[in-house]
Amino acid sequence: MKIYLIGYMGCGKSTMGRKLAQRLNLCFIDLDKYIEERNFRTIPTIFAEEGEEGFRLCEKKALEEIADFENLVVATGGGAPCFFENMELMNRTGATIYIAPPTEILVERLLKSKNERPLIKGKSREELTRFIDENLQKRAPFYEKASLIIRDKHNLEVDDVLRLLEKE
Ligand code: S3P
Q: What is the pLDDT of residues 58-96, one digit of tens each?
A: 999 999 999 999 999 999 999 999 999 999 999 999 999
Q: Report the separation in Å between the CA atom of 95 and the middle of ligand 1, taken as the mean of its atom positions.
A: 20
Instruction: Decide: helix, strand or coil at residue 131.
Output: helix
Q: Under a CB-based contact definition with an 8 Å cutoff, are residues 28 and 17 in contact?
A: yes
Residue 154 near residue 161 (C-beta atoms within 8 A): no
pTM recorded for the entire structure? 0.97
Query: Does the CB atom of residue 7 touch ligand 1 within 6 A?
Result: no
pLDDT exceeds cutoff 80 at 53: yes
Alpha carbon nearest to ligand 1 atom 4, residue = 77
Q: Tell me, what's the pLDDT at 167? A: 86
27-30, strands of its sheet edge to edge: 27-30, 72-75, 2-6, 95-100, 148-151
d(CA 86, CA 40): 23
**Contact, 8 vs 139, CB < 8 A?**
yes
Instruction: Read off the pLDDT of residues 101-135 as tens digits, 9 standing for 90 and up.
Output: 999 999 999 999 999 999 999 999 999 999 999 99
Q: E strands within 52-152?
A: 72-75, 95-100, 148-151
To test ligand 1's pocket by mutation, which of 117, 119, 134 has the most ligand atoms within 8 angstroms of CB?
117
Residues in the chain: 168
Q: Is the pLDDT of residue 154 over 90?
A: no
Centre of ligand 1 from the C-alpha of residue 24, in Å? 25
DSSP codes joined into one string, 88-111? HHHHHHSEEEEEE--HHHHHHHHH
Q: At what angle do helices 13-24 and 158-167 cross, to 10 degrees?
A: 70
